[in-house]
Amino acid sequence: MDFLRPASWEEALAAKAEHPTAVPIAGGTDVMVEINFDHRRPDVLLDLNRIGELQEWEVGEETVRLGASVPYTRIIERLRGELPGLALAGHTVGSPQIRNRGSVGGNLGAASPAGDSHPALLAAGAEVEAVSVRGTRMIPVEEFYTGVKRNCLEADELIRAVHIKKADGPQQFSKVGTRNAMVIAVCAFGLALHPETRTVKTGIGSAAPTPIRARAAEEFLNAALEEAGLWDNGRIIPPSVARQFAELVSGAANPIDDVRGSAAYRRHALGVMARRTLGWTWDEYRGNERSARCA
């Protein structure tokens, strides 16, 4: 095995081009587990820890450009305002020790359907900045996942950053597991209200071969909110609408039975999480609207 330690991003790209089978390692919270258990024996490890800019982020007008290796701890501490959904999701990742090392770039690279950041990225809206010596691609996160633990990165590409839309409204994340800490999601759900465009976006985790949006549920809810003028009048969402939304979210999933839970349970739990997160975000939206009107 070779261990490459590029000191700069350019060196890292050159190394990845020269060694397309090299496995990038940043926090190591996935890669090292596979090596420790001999599930994977890469011929080359490409250490990204030395590349400072991967640990940095920039808050722009509309998006946050989040360096691929920014640990969850930093997202929770520093980006809660701009990326509330991702901060909530990040807080459910593993444990403090894992959150000190794990990153969104790693979650995307591993592309596990159970990765905690995916539902939040899908709901907020995000693009993956994939870079190689050939150039840069911006990949909408919806198109990034191609299968169980598979993504659309080319062999010479590395994830430089994720560009995530700054929140323009309330966001929520919910995850089902056997306990609070150190849990791989049985299933997870992210929801973001986008008052500026009067849309709602969702993300389903751990209940299909890849993380997905519940598009039919989103379209239904967008139409229902519009029709009843709820974005303007700030009334509560009728229970029948919330129920229908929950059913459509359940229906969007394509879960399997496995050691963590049954397909039927996952579908059921997703519906519950969809209804709850919708209630939480809508309450927050109405609260904000009220205080805005008072002021």
Give the residues lining the site for other proteins (CB under 8 A): 1-3, 5, 25, 27-29, 31-33, 35-37, 41-42, 45, 47, 49, 94-98, 100-101, 180-182
Task: Work out the burial of residue 35: count CB atoms within 10 Å of its CB; fewer than 13 is exposed, 13-18 middle, 19 or more buried.
Answer: middle
Give residue 277's identity as a one-letter amino acid code.
Answer: T
CB of 6 to other proteins, least distance (A): 12
Would you say 28 or 234 has its CB closer to other proteins?
28
Q: How far is CA 40 from CA 31, 49, 155, 184, 205, in A?
A: 8, 20, 17, 20, 24
For the bound state, the minimum distance from the C-beta of residue 97 to other proteins, rounded and expressed in Å, comes to: 4
Given a contact cutoff of 8 angstroms between Cβ atoms, the answer to whether 164 and 83 are in contact is yes
**Between 48 and 214, whose beta carbon lies closer to other proteins?**
48
DSSP state of 235: P
Cβ-proximal residues to 93 (8 Å cutoff; 6+ apart), any chain: 72, 99, 102, 116, 117
Q: What is the C-alpha separation between 130 and 13, in angstroms, rounded?
A: 11
Q: SS3 of 46, please? A: strand
Residue 22 CA to residue 7 CA, distance in Å, equals 16
Residue with smaller CB distance to other proteins, 181 or 236: 181
DSSP character at residue 258: B
Instruction: For the CB of residue 257, give the shortest distance to other proteins in the complex, in Å.
Output: 23
Residue with tokens 């759900």: 189
Q: How far is the CB of 145 from other proteins (least distance, A)?
A: 23
Task: Compare residues 101 and 201 and give the one whose CB is closer to other proteins.
Answer: 101
72 or 282: CB nearest other proteins: 72
41/293 with CB nearer other proteins: 41
**CB nearer to other proteins: pick between 40 and 150:** 40
Half-sphere exposure of 209 (CA within 13 A, CB side): 7
Q: How far apart are CA 128 and CA 251, in angstroms?
A: 27
Closest listed residue to residue 184, CA positions, set 266, 248, 245: 266
